[in-house]
Amino acid sequence: MRLSCLALFVTLLAGCASTPPIDTRFSAVGQNSRVQYIILHYTSTDLAHSLLLLSQGEVSSHYLIGEAPPTIYRLVDEDRRAWHAGDSQWQGRTWLNGTSIGIELVNQGFSEGPAGRDWQPFAPAQIDALIALLKDIMRRHQLPLGSILAHSDIAPQRKVDPGPLFPWKRLADAGLIAWPEADAVARQQALFCASLPSVAWFQAQLARLGYAVPQHGELDQATRNVLIAFQMKYRQARYDGEPDSETAALLLVLNKQAPR
């Protein structure tokens, strides 16, 4: 008898704790995706080790793209947070793991040699796969131009990936990112050759584009690191962190082109 009463009591408790029916017939117009950015990385290792690190370790990403063949692996569902961005900032938003999709590309990054860093190029087929994936993500989440970023963009003080050999211009040609118009850059550079803006101007322009950069008017290492991140993306032939006329022209043209 006591057992029967106990069973009945447990059943009643379970019934009280159950979720009531949810009516899903209505959907609000005022909504959009939680995803605001797509962050691109390289893995600094081979495919087997990349899969192990990203699936079994503390670091993770939503997607991993192999090199040969360029297989796309989904490791984290897009509606869940992956741990790929770390301490990061863009356009004033911080800790971007919660608002971004991370894509890792199998690539060794760089090795140190007598002449400095020797960077590994990206396989064309791997970039083809990436572009197809980016187009799909951009369409589904209705992301605007400016949503695809480098890890070095959002963490320039500690990260350099995907590095100066990543083909950003191919993404621009595919309509995925904005690119500075060459003639406009040339005209503006001629003006800046005669009078180079101040360091404070460079800091303000970098911040306007989205970078977290000091605003004290001094060319310190933190400012140089942000300039390097910008140059690795838009002027890959020279990324020395110097605030020169070409960098100034690229910055100004990009900011003028950006929708506000």
Residue 67 among the catalytic residues: no
Candidates 178, 36, 45, 167; CA nearest to 102 is 36
The residue written with tokens 């290792």 in the block is: 45
Q: Are 178 and 145 in contact (CB under 8 A)?
A: yes
How far is the C-alpha of 247 from the C-alpha of 224, rounded, in Å?
12
Question: Which residue among 58, 67, 104, 246 is the active-site one?
Answer: 104
Q: Are 72 and 129 in contact (CB under 8 A)?
A: yes
How far is the C-alpha of 244 from the C-alpha of 192, rounded, in Å?
8
Q: Which residues neighbour 121 within 8 Å (Cβ) at sequence distance 6 or greater?
A: 165
Catalytic positions, please?
A: 104
